[in-house]
Amino acid sequence: MKEMRRIGFCRRLLLGIVFCALMAGFFFSYIPQELMRGFLFVFSGAAFLATVFWARWQGRQLSDFSNDLCETVDIMMEGQEPQNFFPCDETAVSKVQDKLLQYYEKMKDEQQRSRQDKQTIQELVSDISHQVKTPTANIQMISGILNQHELPTEKQREFLNLMAVQIDKLDFLMQSLIKMSRLETGVFVLHLEEARLSDTIAGAMSMILAEAEKKNIRLSADCDSKLTVKHDPKWTAEAIGNILDNAVKYTPEGGGVSVFVRPWQFYTRIDISDTGIGIDQEHYNVIFQRFYRGEEVAAEEGVGLGLYLARGIIAQQNGYITVKSKKGEGSTFSVFLLS
């Protein structure tokens, strides 16, 4: 940088000397008056000195400019903001500092996002390890028993059935964790299209028909077959299906689960109601957290990811979910999709 400034200064000085010499030669040749020649000589000398001072001033300005930028960069590298920044000034330094600050803020946001992603991945690894541990340990224990003991055929079949149950649990858990990781890491891609909401709800209800029949639970749906909403049919059915699965799971035998759709001005509301055990009001927020299981439902099947995934899927479509419940009388989950 110093070498470039020195070369620039020498060039400007040389041009000034050549210009003054040419001007002096011209006037001395064509103007005979001694007084005029003296005046021009003084003028040429003054111009030469002015050129020298201007070149030095320019060099000092360039030096101050580079020093200010270097100071700004040094302060930013220390994670601070420059104190000598005046954004309202229309100077070259302020303009360059403004661009540097914009770049600095963008880099800070990227670093923060990187730290959050790293923390998310660490939490995911920890959660997966914790959740997989129990079914894996059960499978290992059953396998050890079958390998180390001579058991009657009936007993072997019983242990094999238990192992199959644990394998199914592990498979369900892994599928849920894969969906959760895709949602957490931002690779969850939705394909929004204008589609009939009745078809999406029918697809969601088909997921829980078998379990509802086992418990003799009445299912009903009220949705205009002509009603269309811009949404992802596959993943929206997954979200609604997760809510319906919980409704069937926590509703006693002989109860009922219903779906009622109402179009609003800006949103379309989907109410999913059940006659189940209900939820305490203080738990309305925590039930959407991943792996949350209430103490009263700890014995039921599940890993606590259904509502978490449902909320994430609906939120990706600029929608939201609310809940209203009364202990012992049932719950209503309301899904709101942009109309």
Tell me: the pLDDT tens digits for 194-240?
999 999 999 999 989 988 999 999 999 999 989 999 999 989 998 99
Tell me: the pLDDT tens digits for 248-300?
988 999 999 999 999 988 899 999 999 988 888 888 888 887 766 665 554 55
pTM of this structure: 0.58
Residues 259 and 297 in one domain: yes
Domain residues for 274? 193-338
Task: Give how far Cα 23 sits from Cα of 34, 43, 95, Å.
Answer: 16, 10, 39
- The mean pLDDT value of the chain amounts to 78
Residues 134 and 153 in one domain: yes
Number of domains in the chain: 3
How crowded is residue 236: how many other Cβ atoms within 10 Å of its Cβ?
28
pLDDT band at residue 146, thresholds of 50, 70 and 90? Answer: confident
d(C-alpha 256, C-alpha 241), whole Å: 15
Nearest to residue 256, comparing CAs of 296, 217, 305, 284? 217
Tell me: the pLDDT tens digits for 173-195?
777 777 776 776 666 678 899 99
Provide, rounded to the nearest whole percent, the portion of the chain with pLDDT above 70: 68
How crowded is residue 101: how many other Cβ atoms within 10 Å of its Cβ?
16
Residues 243 and 309 in one domain: yes
Provide, rounded to the nearest whole percent, the portion of the chain with pLDDT above 90: 22
Domain boundary among 134, 152, 184: 184
Beta bridge pairs of residue 194: 230
Task: Give how far Cα 277 sits from Cα of 160, 265, 273, 331, Å.
Answer: 34, 33, 12, 8
